[in-house]
Every structure is written in structure tokens, then in C-alpha cells.
Amino acid sequence: MSDFDKRLSCRIDELRQLYMTLYNNDEQAFDYFISMLEEYESQRSKELRSWDKKRSRKTRDTDWYCDNKRFGMLAYVDSFAGTLEGVRSHLPYISEMKVNYLHLMPLLKSPKGKSDGGYAVSDFRCVDERYGTMKDLSDLARDCHERGISLCLDFVMNHTSEDHEWARRARAGEKEYQDRYFFYDNWDEPSRLEKSLPEVFPTTAPGNFSWCDGVGKVVMTTFYPYQWDLNYHNPVVFNDMTANMLFLCNQGVDIIRLDATPYIWKTPGTNCRNLPEVHTLVRMMRIACELVCPGTLLLGEVVMEPKEVVPYFGTLERPECHLLYNVTTMASTWHTVATKDTRLLADQLQKVFDLPKEYVFLNYLRCHDDIGWGLDYHFLSQFGIEEVAHKRFLNDFFRGYVFGSGARGELYNDDPRLGDARLCGTCASLCGIEAAEYENDPDKLHEAVLLDIMLHAFLLTLSGIPVIYSGDEIGQLNDYTYRDDPEKAADSRYLHRGRLSWEDVAKRRIKTSREGMIYNALRRLEGIRSRYKVFQNAADTWLVPVDCGYGDHSVLGIGRYLDGEKLLAFFNFSGETKTVHTGEPEEYTVLAGSPSSADSFPVSSFVLPRYGFSWYLKKYE
């Protein structure tokens, strides 16, 4: 019996039940699906089979991606190195940073001018010629694997470009291909459905439907008019899109980022978000990967509040996504930077700490997208905070409109009616580095760099996989040149998607430079994290009570414990030095932060500098 047949025998009953329930007992479609899976498994290379075998092993019942040695970076190919060949040439730099999880933003073929940053795919099996070829992608994946680097790629499964072959044939009147999308003969039904559908981009792309001149019908377009939503009620769509995903896996892609996961199933009359059928689809895709490429991970893009995010892990018995984004922690972190009040962040972290340790989050301070203020306003209301006014304050603060703020950012999708604008900006610019350098103020620059480093230390303290955006390792600033590009000027997210300056990267060797201070601090912290098992996902985690004086909530304490190693970490979100009281009776070794040198240190009471942090370690025999 082949390895595929062995794996299939363990999963066939569940897979059949899921498929038949969703697709009305369509035996022909199911049989095709199974034969398709077997075909792609047979095409998997010897090297990738070896990679699968290595990744399928567990250490002490823990999957490889749950350890403390994962460190990720996110980058656009063109901004980082121009082409895939350019990325290959810079793999030594990536390895130097100890990055072993490389997420390259969308790079498949998409029409210039109507690509939404690569999220309007016109061919799922072709790399955009601006970046190279599919062979270049395979070669890059091979070189990454030789260095122990896992490659992550976006899989845009909710929609295709209007230039995709399916869309072109639908526009030409072929019903088979129109059935792969949502078409309506007139505006009557779409107008009725709009009443229950929220808008994703109310200012730049209002509405969820667009008129298609070519066919004289209305088509569903949740995101942009040139992105046509796929109809997963049609099993042909699911079969063929799963095949496209597996094709990418067979090029050496290790992590598949399922873009816009909550949107992929549409039921008229609902808000078409987070429907039960979405979980059925994701579970079947998880099983497909386990059958064909068992070393592959699924990363779900679910940018919603925790109660809506966690279900995408599935259950321990029937898991769905291997990884999910910790988006609420990200937004709550920047809220804390603005307010100097850690209570919301602590409350949100406690909810994460209470989850099963098998659930693994990707933690980040920023990504390619904007920062949305989807905070827990019910929790904040007890402090007299009102949602719209608070969002306005946060956006004002991070644009430098609040006295004392050195942050420099811009709004994205501003809707004055709802007060629901989101925010753009690099980590360094939001921390105040850009303003400090512009003002040539050494003290402000020192403070802003301290804040930047403290935030990254906080990121590395959390369970899961820390991921930085390319350029943040050297404190890259906002790029305002996007305003001069007609294709980018309307999208302020390009503010923080600027081209990486390799001249600035070279400055990392200058320890006193902004680039050198941030880069070397980050490398040191990542090195410490990778050496101590207490940073593994299996560690117990808790909030450490701290007392900085009545009404002062500017310091956050986090505890971790695993196999005789206990870590206490403290973070000062204030620009003032704090005396911290913990009631902790034992002495600890200083791993990083303040004080900078001490063999052992009592943490019952200590001083934490402005925007300072401390990692304290205690080992038990």
C-alpha cells in the first residue's frame, strides 16, 4: 500500500462525509477530487517528500512550528529585492537575521493597474513576469529549504481577477464558467442582498456587486470591481482551486496563507462572513494537504475579534488552520502605546493565554495592511471610553496631532460618518523615529528607538511565531513617494510598503546608528529566545501583577514556565522611569533589558527605565 493510500484510509470517511454533505452527494465530483489528490501526491518530488517526512515528526508530541526557533519575515518581492532571483541572492542576509519563515507577498500573475497588490490573480500557476518564473519560485524554495527556511505564499481563494481565464470565458457567455461566479440578470437581487452585506472598502470600493458590460449582468465583487467572487457552492470551483493550491505546494511552498478565509462561502440573506460551510471547506483543504503534502501548513487570514478568530483552528480532533494571526493583540499593543494604559492589552492577552497550547498564533506589530481599531470597546466602556471618539484619538495620536506624540502615520479608508478610519505607517515612524530624525533631536531619537526595541521584545515574549515586516529590523521609515505613483496614490497602505534600502541595511554594522541599534538588539533578543525552551508554545503563560503606584497602569508583566525554566518579563509603555513592585520573593538572572548587568537580581522591586523592558530567568533543578 502506498503512503498516499495509507493516509487516505485514515481520512476517507470524514472527507467523504464532509464533501457529500456540502455538495449534495455528488459522487462524480468526489471521485474526481480523490483522483486529483492522488495525482498531485504522485508529482511531489523526492526532495519535497523528504521535507514532508522531516516536518511530520513530532518532538515530545509537539509539532515543529511550535518551538522557540521560528522567526519570520514578511516582504514584497519587488520592494525587497526586485525579483525572485534577487531574493535568492539575499538569502545570506535573511539567514543572518535568523529568519526561517519567509512570507513573500502575492507574486502570481495579475493585471498591472488592477492587481490590488497582487490579490487579483489572473493565473494561479504562473508567476508575474515582473518577478520571474515558476522555475525561479521553485529554485528559491529549494535554496530556502537547504538553509532551513520555510516559504509562505498567499493563496487568494475567495476571488479571481476579471482577467482570469474563467472570468474571460464567463464574460464570453459560457454558462459553465458563469456558474463559477455569482451572476445576476439585473440589479433586483443584488440590491436586496446589499442590505445584509457589510462593505469591506466603503470609500475606495463601495458595495458588493458590479455591472459587467461584457455579459450584461451583475457580478458579485466583495472587495474590488475587478475581483470576482468565486462560487464555492459549485464543487468544480472547490476541486480546481484545491488543485491550484497543491500545484503551489509542489513548487516547494511550505505555508499556504488562505486569504480572506471568512468570506469564501456565500449564502444569500446572510452577511456572508464566518458561515459554517467555511469551516467545512477549510477542514477539507487541511485533509487534502495531509494527504498530498503533509509537511505543509495552512495559515488563515482571519482579521476579526478573538471569538470569531479561534474557531478557525477547528477542534483538537478535527483541526482546520495550523496558524492564525493574532490581530487583536497587534491592535491592542498600539492602543497601549498611545494611552500608556496596559489594561486592555492585559485583558486581551489573558484570553489568548487561556486557549489550548496546540493553537499557534502568528504575532506581529505590523504587516502589509493597515491597522484597524477593532478593539474590545465593551471592556473599554468601563473606563468611560466611547468607540468613535477613541478611534479618532488613536488616529490623531499616530498622525502626530496629539501634543507630545512623535508618531507619523496616515489614515486609510477614512469614513467620517462612521469614524472608522484605519491607520498606516512603519513601526519606526509610528514609534517617533521619523519625527526625531527630521527634528535632529538626539534625545527624542533615543526614546523612539527604545520604544521600538521594547515593542519587539514584547513581540518575542509571546507564544507562537513572531513575524516582522521587511525593513523593520533596521527601523525603516515611511515612504511618501507612493503619492507620486498614479497606481498607488489612492492607497495609503503603500506608505509602509516602501522599497528596502540596501544602503541603509549596510548601516546595521554601525552600532551607534538607528539601523545598527535596532538590528543588533533584535538579533540579540531573537538569539536569546531560541536558546531557552521557556519560549516554546507549550509553556504555561500568565499575567504578572505589578504595582507602579495608584492609578498607574503603564507597566505590563508576563510570566512563562516550562520544564524548570521560569521567565518574568516586564514592559514599560511610559516615557517615564517606573519603580515596579511585584511581590516576587526570588532572585532571577537578567537575560535582557534592565539592569544591563547582574548575575542575579531580586524582582520584588526594581526600576524600569522609560520604554524599557526586562527579561528575568529562574531555573529550577
Burial label, 261 (beta-carbon count in 10 A; 0-12, 13-18, 19+): buried
Distance from the Cα of residue 39 to its chain's centroid: 31
Cα angle 21, 259, 265; round to 5 = 30
Cα–Cα distances (Å) from 247 to 44, 55, 549, in that order, read: 9, 19, 58
Q: For 224, how many CA atoms within 13 A lie in the half-sphere containing its CB?
A: 16
Indicate if the alpha-carbon torsion angle 523, 529, 530, 532 is positive or negative: positive
Which residue in the list 259, 437, 447, 515 is annotated as catalytic? 259
CA distance 567 to 553: 21
Instruction: Calculate helix-pair angle for 343-353, 327-339, nearest 10 degrees.
Output: 160
Which residue in the list 41, 162, 229, 301 is annotated as catalytic? 301
**Could you write out the DSSP letters of every residue in 43-105?**
T--HHHHHHHHHHH--BTTB-GGGSS---EEEE-HHHHTSSHHHHHHTHHHHHHTT--EEEEP
- Asked if 5 is an active-site residue, the reply is no
- Asked if 301 is an active-site residue, the reply is yes
Indicate if the alpha-carbon torsion angle 483, 489, 490, 491 is positive or negative: negative
CA distance 126 to 221: 23
Burial label, 306 (beta-carbon count in 10 A; 0-12, 13-18, 19+): middle
Q: What is the dihedral of CA 399, 400, 406, 408, to 10 degrees?
A: 30
| Cβ atoms within 10 Å, residue 557 | 20
CA distance 431 to 439: 14
**Active centre residues (catalytic):** 259, 301
